[in-house]
Chain A
Amino acid sequence: MSEPVTILVVDDEPPIRRFLRTTLEAQGYRVIEAETGAAAIVDGLGSKPDVIILDLGLPDMNGLEVIAAIRATSGVPIIVLSIRDEERGKVEALDLGADDYVTKPFGMAELIARIRAALRHRFQVQGELPAFASGDLSVDLVRRRVALGGEEVKLSPKEYEILKLLVIHAGKVLTHRQILRQVWGPAQENDVQYLRVFVRQLRQKLEPDPARPAHILTEPGVGYRLNAP
């Protein structure tokens, strides 16, 4: 990519915008800032950033409304900054079209990982199925081969579908509903318990210590995330 990746940072707190700008620019990104929801929508649609980092607690409007407004016409990845204990806000944001979230206070490394994951999916060439490798786990979506430490692992069809979805969105959170809808269809999108059982089976097969998974991580109250390097 010749053009630097542009990130729109939306937060009403100057110190937060400051340290984000410093860090992101040092990472090679170009940063534009917005302080309010209205400005976010204008910049989000006008300046065509590659990623939007959006604080949910804006002074003039609900962050969820910003997401809805942007999603109406643009698929730009949105990462929301939420406050801890605000479970509902996160899930709603994701349901409205946000791609991921970090909880304040957050570590910078975590945010960078989210940004990369969001961009990875964005810049994927349509139709190209990525190969994934992280730690012991390697997944080849073309050949439909999953291996743990070099040894092939046999997965049931549904298990594979779930893993495939996670791999395609490696590093990004997927809500229960998103997974259920993709793998089973819209009719099943509320059968969270059902999904849990399958994820548990997956972990049994893929995780050296299923109780402390290193690959398929639980996002409490939200869904799952495949840990990506």
Chain B
Amino acid sequence: MGALKRPASGYDTSISHPASGTAHMARSMRSAAALIRKLSDLMRLRTNGAGFPARSAVPGPGFLAPERDTISLLPYIASIVFVVAALLVGLVLQRFLQVTNVSLVFLVAVLTSALTGGLGPSLFASLLSVLAFNFFFLPPLYTFTIAEAENIVALIVFAVVAMLTSELAARVRRQAVVARRQQNTTAALYAFSRKLAGIGNLDDLLWATAYQIASMLRVRVVLLLSDGKDIRVRVGYPPEDQLSELDLAAAHHAWQNRRPAGRGTDALPLFVPLLTDRNAIGVVGVRCEGSGRTLDLDERSLLDALADQAAIAIERINLATAIEEARVDAETERLRAALLISISHDLRTPLASILGAATSLRSYGRAYDDAAREDLLATLHEEAERLNRYVGNLLDMTRLESGAVALKRSPVDLQEVIETALRRTGPVLERHRVEVQVAPNLPILDLDYLLLEQVLVNLLDNAAKYTQAGTLVRITARREEDLVAIDIADEGPGIPAGDLDRIFDKFYRVHDEDRRRAGTGLGLAICRGFMHAMGGRLTVQNRQDRCGAVFTVTLPVEASFTHGMKPDE
């Protein structure tokens, strides 16, 4: 019959060995009352009404029903009924079946009364039975004379039977009640455990725990968690509860010594440490409402069980958080390292060409003919431009990463943005064919000119870099309902199907077998970042009509700038 045992707590949690006989009897009466209530619920007797005190006003499912102190009349009335029934049966047996020893029938009434009513009603029933037996069956009939020792014996036997049976019945009832209670407790703990398992957030977990403890035990709860050095209040139910200095000290004591402290009364809360096998991660404090009430042994063990579960769940979440943080740190480190490597390489490469060409001209320039000199100078120029672009990319990326992309909105004519973007990429697109088709009457958009221009420049730069000289790069701008779309289509090899999404990742470059294309790998990430900042989108698809890629910039048409156009003056 062991209720939940808590290791090393020193509390005996079994309830089948109470202290004294009076307590025992009182207990059995209370349990009996409780059982009768439950049985009558089962038998669907109407129990609302006279005789039953109102349920306690404390909220919660009332798992442990409040015990009644008043003695109700119903079991006694039931005893009368049983005895009367036995009497009638006895009379019938005597009259029609000539049974002489009908006392056993009264025994049934006493037994029934003991089973359903408990000790008091059964004693009452035995008294009634003796009287009835005496009156109706023992000569002289219809008198209450106790003539022979038979009657006294019968009375004593009935009384003894009554007491034994009712005690037995009470024991069974108690055990049934306890078993029922334990089953309910276990079910509730199981449900709580499952609920905890599904919570991934520490605050939700603490709240659920506090609420569960408060409602299962009908107490006021406060949960304190340790942050390594000290504990502090994290959650409470009801939420407005405060802890006094003294209470905090007691909580601290409980946490540090890993032992419960306090009593659990209204004046002196009980603090139970939340222990895992590694350390004390916090303390749960409970305070009973109502003067003088403290937690009984059952409730203590329940509290311990809930505390254990909570401790395990909290530790689980703490571990999960630690793992996630470690993972994020590792990932950040990886990106940082990749960034440094990439920057170092991409800045030093053009610098190498610049220094090489410049020093070559300085040291040996006299010997070069015009063609050689022009060639070196061209290299100087081109590589310097390249470096300029990289620096621009890095700055753009830094702006995006640090969230410093402050939009400077102004009315923008898409045709003009395309024009200036093409001008900037003129040199790069020198050896390509370029076609531009801008739909007439495209709305003027309210956005950041330079951001959109940079997006187009990066896309055009890519188109030039990743396609062969002489191929066509086509830019079209069109309207689609409440969106405006700019397509940049090339005639290159297109994007491998698996990479269509990943090309917008930082540092991602499609691997080309021919030769590694120079580039920071940031261009498209920047494009996407800028588009996002403007409330637009950037997507890529492979062309359907031939091989090649199409990048599409879409922007919402929000405030259109329509101006009252005066006729030409």
Contacts and interface: CB of A to CB of B under 8 A. Distances in A.
B438 A211 contact: yes
B388 interface: yes
Interface string B421-452: 01100000000001011100000100001100
Given A157-B569, A192-B411, A193-B411, A87 B450 contact: yes
A221 B412 CA distance: 9
A220 B444 contact: no
Interface residues of A, number: 24
Interface string A185-199: 000000111101100
Interface in A147-176: 156-159
A221 B409 CA distance: 11
A220 B563 contact: no
B514 interface: no
Contacts of A85: 450
A218 interface: yes
B378 to A, nearest CB: 13
Contact of B563 (A158, A197, A211): A197
Contacts of B434: 212
Interface in B550-568: 561, 563, 565, 568
Contact of A105 (B388, B437, B565, B568): B388
Contact of B449 (A197, A200, A220): A220
A221 B434 CA distance: 25
A84 B449 CA distance: 13
A220 B453 contact: yes
B384 to A, nearest CB: 8
Interface string B376-400: 0000000010001000100000000
B289 interface: no
A24 interface: no
A60 interface: no
B450 A213 contact: no
B420 interface: yes
Nearest to B422: A212
B47 interface: no
A221 B449 contact: yes
A6 to B, nearest CB: 29
A220 B415 CA distance: 12
B411 A211 contact: no
A212 B563 contact: no
B411 A158 contact: no
Contacts of A191: 563
A200 B440 CA distance: 10
Contacts of B423: 217
B415 A211 contact: yes
B408 A197 contact: no
Contacts of A128: none
Contacts of A3: none
A197 B422 CA distance: 21
B333 interface: no
B52 to A, nearest CB: 82
Nearest to B566: A194
A217 B417 CA distance: 11
A211 B563 CA distance: 22
B306 interface: no
A200 B416 CA distance: 9
B450 A220 contact: yes
Contacts of A221: 410, 449-450
B145 to A, nearest CB: 121
A164 B413 CA distance: 23
Contacts of B384: 105
B423 to A, nearest CB: 7
Contact of B419 (A105, A156, A192, A213): A213
B438 A158 contact: no
Interface string A212-224: 1100011011000
B472 interface: no
B565 A211 contact: no
A213 B411 CA distance: 20
Contacts of A220: 416-417, 420, 449-450, 453
A158 B408 contact: no
B191 to A, nearest CB: 61
Nearest to B562: A193
Interface string B202-236: 00000000000000000000000000000000000
Nearest to A197: B565
A195 B416 CA distance: 13
A209 B411 contact: no
A221 B416 CA distance: 10
B568 A157 contact: yes
B130 interface: no
Contacts of B416: 196, 218, 220
27 contacts: A84-B392, A85-B450, A105-B388, A156-B568, A157-B568, A157-B569, A158-B568, A159-B568, A191-B563, A193-B411, A193-B561, A196-B413, A197-B563, A197-B565, A200-B413, A211-B415, A211-B437, A212-B419, A212-B436, A217-B423, A218-B420, A220-B416, A220-B417, A220-B420, A221-B410, A221-B449, A221-B450
- 3 closest A-B pairs by beta carbon, nearest first, are A211-B436, A156-B568, A218-B416
Given A210-B415, A220-B416, 14 more contacts: A87-B450, A105-B388, A156-B568, A157-B568, A158-B569, A193-B561, A197-B565, A200-B413, A211-B415, A211-B438, A212-B422, A212-B434, A220-B420, A220-B453
